[in-house]
Amino acid sequence: MKEKKYKGVVVPMVTPVTKEGALDTAAVERIITFFVEAGVSPLLMGTTGEGNSVSQADGLLFVETAVKAAQKRITIYAGLTGNCFSEQLKQAEAYTNAGADVIVATLPTYYALTPEQMENYYRTLADSIQGPLMIYNILATTHMSIPVDVIQRLADHPNIVGLKDSERDLERMAQCIEIAKGREDFCYFCGWAAQSAHSLELGGDGIVPSTGNYVPDMFQQLYEAAVKGDMDTANRLQDETNEIAKIYQKDRTLGQSLTALKVMMQSKGLCEPWMLMPLTRLSDEEEQTIKLKIED
C-alpha cells in the first residue's frame, strides 16, 4: 500500500485576533512559522479556532495569510462550519481557491439530524466542492455523533479523504481506525488529545491536539515515536503533554480554556489572548496565575 497522503500532527490552531476582534495577520504568520519549524500542520477555524465565530471575510483572509506564510511546506486544513449550505459552498470554494489543501466540515448544528440526513449532508457537500473533504465529528459541540456505519459508507466516497474524530469513546475510536486501515484513500485523525499515543498505536494516521498550539514539537516527537513503534517514548510524551493541557483546561469550560491557551501562547510571543464574541478574556488574576504555572 502506498503511503497515505494525509497523516501526522495537525494542530487545531487558535484564531489570533486584536482587541477589536479583527484577525491578527501578523500573529497568524508567527504561529504558522512556529508550526513549520516543528513540522506540524494547522487546522484553521476548528473548535479551538472559534470557527463558528469567524466572519466569512476574516475566514478567507485567515486562509490566505496561512497559505502565504506556509509556502507549501505544510498542509493547510480549513474548517467549515455553519447552518446555511449555500454559504458553506461559497466558503469552501473560496478557501480552496486561496490554497487550502483540505476542507474539514462539521455538521450543521441548529437541528438534530438523523443518520440519513448526516450522510446526505456530507455526500452532497463532497459532490459539490472542488477540494478534498474531511469529516469532523465532535459530539461536545454539535451534540450529535455521526454513527460508525455512516462513516463506513462515506469512506467510499471518492472526494471524502478522512475523519477527524473528537468523540471520547475508545470503542468507537477503534472501530473508526479499522475503517481507515488498509486503504490509501481514507485516513483517521484522533481529535481526543489525551489518547493521541493510543490512537497511533492502534493504527491511526494522525492526531489533532489543541495543546500543540503551545508545544507542537512535543506532539511531533510523540507521533514520530509511535510510528517507529517506540511506545515508551510516545506514552511518556503523552503524559507530559497531558500535564501541560491541565494548565489551561482544568476547571474551565471549553470556551474559557481557549483563552487560557492563548495566554500560554502569549508567553511565547505568538498572539494576544483576545477572543471573538461571545467568548471573553479571563480576569487579570486568572491570566497571571496561568503565567506563574508556566514559569514553575
Mean pLDDT in order along the chain per 10 residues (296 residues): 89 98 98 98 98 97 98 98 96 98 97 98 97 97 97 98 98 98 95 98 98 98 98 98 97 97 98 97 96 88
pLDDT for the residue 1: 60
Rounded Cα–Cα distance for residues 107 and 146 (Å): 9
pTM of the model: 0.96
Question: Which residues lie across from 206 on neighbouring strands?
Answer: 8, 189
Exposure class string for 25-63: b at 16+ Cβ within 10 A, else e: bebbbbbbebbbebbbbbbbbbbbbbbebbeeebbbbbb
- Taking the CA atoms of residue 14, residue 18, residue 20 and residue 21 in that order, the dihedral angle to the nearest 10 degrees is -20
Rounded Cα–Cα distance for residues 61 and 64 (Å): 5
Q: Which residue has the cell 498572539?
A: 271
pLDDT for the residue 198: 98
Neighbouring CB atoms inside 10 A of 292's CB total: 9
Rounded Cα–Cα distance for residues 216 and 99 (Å): 23
82, 113, 125, 189 from 149: Cα distances, Å: 24, 15, 19, 17
Rounded Cα–Cα distance for residues 24 and 18 (Å): 6
pLDDT for the residue 10: 98
